[in-house]
Amino acid sequence: MSAEATSVPWLDAWTPEEGAERVRALFEARFGDGPPDGTWSAPGRVNLIGEHTDYNGGLCLPIALPHRTYVALRRRDDDRVRLVSAQERTGQRELELADVAPGTVDGWAGYVVGVAWAMREAGLAVGGFDVAVDSCVPYGAGLSSSAALEASVAVALDAVFGLGLAGATDDAGRSRLAAMCVRAENEIAGAPTGGMDQAASLRARAGHALLLDCLDGSLRHVPFDLSAHGLALLVVDTRAEHQLADGQYAARRASCEAAAARLGVATLREITVDPRGMEWALDKLDDEVQVRRVRHVVTEIDRVTWFVALLESGAVDAVGPLMNASHASLRDDYEVSCLELDLVVSAAMSAGALGARMTGGGFGGSAIALVRADSVDEVARAVHAAFTSAGLRSPAFLVATAQTPAA
């Protein structure tokens, strides 16, 4: 980064060696009875486009971040789980796997033991374990630290209990692991998220964006190498905290489900392929809020298709307007943006970004901007300055490239 950029906080990713070393040291210091069986890690993700579409059977397009969650894990002979995380100061947690069920585990431990629970529910032979966690994925920033945690635990348990799902040469085993991570998050951690985050963390490919079809879980790897085009993806963690976020996510999901029921379709995805077009569906809805929610979902799925078409034809620098349209739709029709996210988008665009949008669930979290590689610092500084003049705490910045999945 240039000298003038020193006041801008950059969130650098750890090297894999650094991450593994940190988590191994944490394991040995906290459990004090020898080394782990090994270390594993899984990336956070950033979604390029296709927001709030996963739980509607739609399309999304995430990449795996260089920022990863690391676990050091050791198999036990009993049913006990001991866990510790460098990010959670509450100390070590301990519980019996047999006691884990929906509604019984509070806090971060649910993301970990939930994975073991889901594996057992799937009939897999998984027992107790000791695990230490450390991560450079920013927490609650919309970059999916939760799925990074689940996926790192999933590949670790896969290895120590010999499940043979993570190393499969085809994608089927990883797809099963992702489904178990979704169950962990939905049923044990109690967060009603769709499947995008877990798929990105477990099934992405370096140098590619993951086009995920959430209707059937199928995917396509779309080449995504911005540097070859002189471009870069700037991610801005607004660090905004909005208390309402959880309830709002569930409310959006419920609204989409209600609209689908009213329209007589299983998911809103069906509207995108209906020969009568979107207007038919919007006309049939009498609830004005549902009209806007459906319009966002249907147009957003369309934007993913266009975005991929542009990437595949080499016109990467033409995706900007789709990003801006996505942001406007999320802000106006889906109503999940907030002042900070809007500010990132307007400041980045004024500073010359090709396109910008909020990413993730909304109400805080992160926004992305597609920028010329040589203007990363300039755009970051402009966003930083806009936050300072608005009296807001500075956001944090990172540059995203498409990296490897959990391993």
Q: Which residues are catalytic?
A: 197
Show Cβ contacts of residue 128 under 8 Å, excluding neighbours closer than 6 positions. 75, 76, 77, 78, 79, 80, 81, 96, 97
Binding footprint of Mg ion, residue count (CB under 5 A): 2
Nearer to Mg ion, 130 or 237 (CB): 237
Question: What is the x/- site pattern for ligand ADP, positions 17-56, by CB under 6 A?
Answer: ----------------------------------------
Nearer to Mg ion, 108 or 387 (CB): 108
Least Å from the CB of residue 134 to ligand ADP? 7
**Range 143-172, binding Mg ion (CB under 5 A):** 144, 146
Among candidates 50, 107, 24, which has minimal Cα distance to 326? 50
Residue indicated by tokens 């970051």: 380
Q: What angle do CA 12, 17, 23 make, to 5 degrees?
A: 90
Least Å from the CB of residue 51 to Mg ion? 13
CB-based closest residue to Mg ion: 146
The CA distance from 254 to 116, in Å, is: 28
Nearer to ligand ADP, 53 or 146 (CB): 146
The CA distance from 36 to 220, in Å, is: 35
Residue indicated by tokens 């929610």: 293
Least Å from the CB of residue 197 to Mg ion? 6
Nearer to ligand ADP, 84 or 319 (CB): 84
Residue indicated by tokens 């992405």: 204
3-state secondary structure of 338: coil
Q: Please give the order of strands across the beta sheet that includes 396-400.
A: 355-359, 366-372, 231-237, 396-400
The CA radius of gyration of the chain, in Å to the nearest whole number, is: 21
Scanning 26-34, 106-114, 203-211, 351-359 for contacts with ligand ADP by CB under 6 A, the matching segment is 106-114
**Range 366-385, binding ligand ADP (CB under 6 A):** none
Question: What is the x/- site pattern for ligand ADP, positions 132-161, by CB under 6 A?
Answer: -x-x---xxxxxxxx--x------------
Among candidates 211, 212, 236, which has minimal Cα distance to 222? 211
Binding footprint of ligand ADP, residue count (CB under 6 A): 19
Chain contacts with Mg ion (rule: CB under 5 A): 144, 146
Residues that bind ligand ADP in the complex, under the rule CB under 6 A: 69, 85, 87-88, 107-108, 111, 133, 135, 139-146, 149, 191
